[in-house]
Amino acid sequence: MSNIKPEDFFKNIISHSKEYGFIFPSSEIYDNGLSAVYDYGQLGAELKKNIRDYWWKAMVQMNENIVGIDSAIFMHPTTWKASGHVDAFNDPLIDNKDSKKRYRADVLIEEHVAKIEDKINKEVEKAAKRFENFDAAMFKSTNARVKEYQDKIDAINERFKTALNANNLDEVKQIIVDLEIVCPISGTKNWTDVRQFNLMFNTSTGAVTDETNIIYLRPETAQGIFVNYLNVQKTGRMKLPFGIAQTGKAFRNEIVARQFIFRMREFEQMEMQFFVKPGTEMEWYEYWKQTRLKWHLSLGLGAEKYRFHDHLKLAHYANAAADIEHQFPFGFKELEGIHSRTDFDLKQHEQFSGKKLQYFDPELNASYVPYVVETSVGLDRLFLSILSSALKEESLEGGDTRTVLSLPPALAPYKAAVFPLVKKDGLPELAESIMKDLKFDFMMAYDEKDTVGKRYRRQDAIGTPFCITVDHQSLEDKTVTIRDRDTMKQDRVAIDKLHSILTEKTSLQSLLKTL
């Protein structure tokens, strides 16, 4: 695989995903799909479910002080005012067709206003030199030229405010045209229409659509945890420090969604908000950085494929933030974020809801708003990181090649496949009975078509870690061969040992024990 170029390798992953039923473009029969939306197929759904289960068990089952919830995608609209999402992502944008540069329309207009203000200041400076005992305020309110400038500014601001409040984007563009604002780079006035880019998708409740019942699709799952913080703390009798975990869909109206399932408009997050005593957040921040990295390393995809990236520029809610990055075929990219969110979110929700979201600390005999350390990982990105690391073209002795998906066995869609060596002499019947016993506890595949070598290759390509083959000896001594996907080596084992072998090698328990 080393001689495959990264971009070709990436295309290889996309076609492999499609060919074997991991990922399909959404609504593909119409126009080749909906942009940047993908569906998980029969194998993809299994793999994704197993990844999610592993995360959930590592977080919730293995930590007595972490509990899981499942909050709704729809939330009260005020939630997003409190979180800052409504204000932060409502920018009117405009492009210059010649320079291809994009600007915020409001910034262009503000800059134009600032230029006029400069002119006023120059008039004031000039006048200040001419007169002693100069009164700037008096000058501004009486000088005809300055008053003209100021009237212009007021008119622009008033017109812009009206246009924005009416959400009249055509008028915003008309302002830019009327003011003859030019692009600083191309110097031309060749503008596109003004468009509103909002990060959040919205819809409305009830049959009648109006401003009052607009409702957003959540852009992150975290807020569902924050608004339930007190419910969980009280009903679960949780003591600090404790965590609330959740997995679920989130929606972001990305301007550009790209790179297969790496950046999608509809995606799944796995988040855990850890509530701690103020002042201890940096210890926990470090703890969760290391704990989460260990979790990723336990997948065995290679330690060199992971690294931390500490944020220098912090979001408004954070006092420390780092990403765990993974080396994708297109470079190191963010996989998981660990953020120290302070008490920003809970304080905001206190303020907007008017409800206290505090914790009574019996040791201090005092109440306070806890600090929060967040771990937030994209399930789809995790899926892509595992798939792209696992997919290999191997050269075998004799010049053969094989395609093998070296998934961590505990995450593989099928844990084992059962084959009769030949399709006669009672071998299929024995193979089917073995499979029927095992499928109560394991996802099993069965295949009797084509030569056994071909069947091994088919299972290699979808990541099945073990192939169990029934041969003529099996009829005599109740043993079968079990073949390892990665080494291609076979062992002969008793049929009644299969269950314990598969449990040991393919259960999530084996992974959890490494943490």
Partner RNA sequence: GCGAAAGUAGCUCAAUUGGUAGAGCUCCAGCCUUCCAAGCUGGAGGUUGCGGGUUCGAGACCCGUCUUUCGCUCCA
Under the criterion CB under 7 A, does residue 260 sit at the interface with RNA?
yes
DSSP per-residue codes, 454-495: HHHHHHHHHT--EEEEE-HHHHHHSEEEEEETTT--EEEEEG
Under the criterion CB under 7 A, does residue 453 sit at the interface with RNA?
yes
CB 379 within 8 A of CB 355: no
Under the criterion CB under 7 A, does residue 41 sit at the interface with RNA?
no
The least CB distance from residue 293 to RNA, in Å, is: 21
CB 289 within 8 A of CB 283: no
Q: Where are the beta strands (DSSP E) in 30-181?
A: 38-40, 66-68, 90-95, 102-104
Mask of contacts with RNA, 279-318, x by CB under 7 A?
Answer: ------------------------------------xx--
Contact segment (CB under 7 A) with RNA among 119-127, 210-218, 255-263, 367-375 equals 255-263
Contact segment (CB under 7 A) with RNA among 282-290, 351-359, 380-388, 451-459 equals 451-459
Contacting RNA within 175-194 (CB under 7 A): 192
218 vs 289, which CB is nearer to RNA? Answer: 218
CB 444 within 8 A of CB 418: yes
Tokens read off for 186: 């191309």
Under the criterion CB under 7 A, does residue 255 sit at the interface with RNA?
yes
The least CB distance from residue 467 to RNA, in Å, is: 8
Among 512, 506, 273, which Cα is nearest to 412's? 506
Pick one of 452, 462, 495, 498: the residue that binds RNA (CB under 7 A).
Answer: 452
Using the 8-state DSSP alphabet, how is residue 411 labeled?
A: G
Among 113, 126, 148, which Cα is nearest to 136's? 126
247 vs 469, which CB is nearer to RNA? Answer: 469
Contacting RNA within 125-164 (CB under 7 A): none
CB 340 within 8 A of CB 76: no
Under the criterion CB under 7 A, does residue 480 sit at the interface with RNA?
yes
Distances (CA, A) of 428 to 24, 149, 235, 254, 425: 33, 92, 54, 52, 8
Under the criterion CB under 7 A, does residue 481 sit at the interface with RNA?
yes
Under the criterion CB under 7 A, does residue 234 sit at the interface with RNA?
no
Q: Which residues pair with 272 in a beta bridge?
A: 245, 375
Q: Is the dihedral of CA 481, 484, 489, 493 positive or negative?
A: negative
Under the criterion CB under 7 A, does residue 85 sit at the interface with RNA?
yes
28 vs 151, which CB is nearer to RNA? Answer: 28
Under the criterion CB under 7 A, does residue 498 sit at the interface with RNA?
no
Contacting RNA within 392-411 (CB under 7 A): 396, 399-402
Cα distance between residue 107 and residue 71, in whole Å: 38
3 state DSSP class of 270? strand
50 vs 79, which CB is nearer to RNA? Answer: 79
146 vs 176, which CB is nearer to RNA? Answer: 176
Under the criterion CB under 7 A, does residue 11 sit at the interface with RNA?
yes
Contact segment (CB under 7 A) with RNA among 50-58, 127-135, 155-163, 452-460 equals 452-460
Contact segment (CB under 7 A) with RNA among 14-22, 126-134, 135-143, 431-439 equals 14-22
Cα distance between residue 128 and residue 114, in whole Å: 21
159 vs 457, which CB is nearer to RNA? Answer: 457
Cα distance between residue 265 and residue 251, in whole Å: 6
Contacting RNA within 97-126 (CB under 7 A): 100, 102
22 vs 54, which CB is nearer to RNA? Answer: 22
User: For the chain, how many residues are written?
Assistant: 515
> Exposed (0-12), middle (13-18) or buried (19+): which is 69, by Cβ within 10 Å?
middle
**Cis peptide before 278, with omega less than 30 degrees from 0?**
no
The least CB distance from residue 335 to RNA, in Å, is: 14
Pick one of 62, 88, 107, 214: the residue that binds RNA (CB under 7 A).
Answer: 88
CB 346 within 8 A of CB 369: yes
CB 177 within 8 A of CB 189: yes
Contact segment (CB under 7 A) with RNA among 25-33, 45-53, 231-239, 277-285 equals 25-33
CB 448 within 8 A of CB 420: yes
2 vs 487, which CB is nearer to RNA? Answer: 487
Residue ranges that bind RNA, judged by CB under 7 A: 7, 10-11, 14-15, 18-19, 25, 31-36, 83-85, 88, 95, 100, 102, 192, 219-220, 254-256, 258-260, 263, 315-316, 330, 396, 399-402, 421-424, 449-454, 456-458, 469-473, 480-481, 483, 488-490
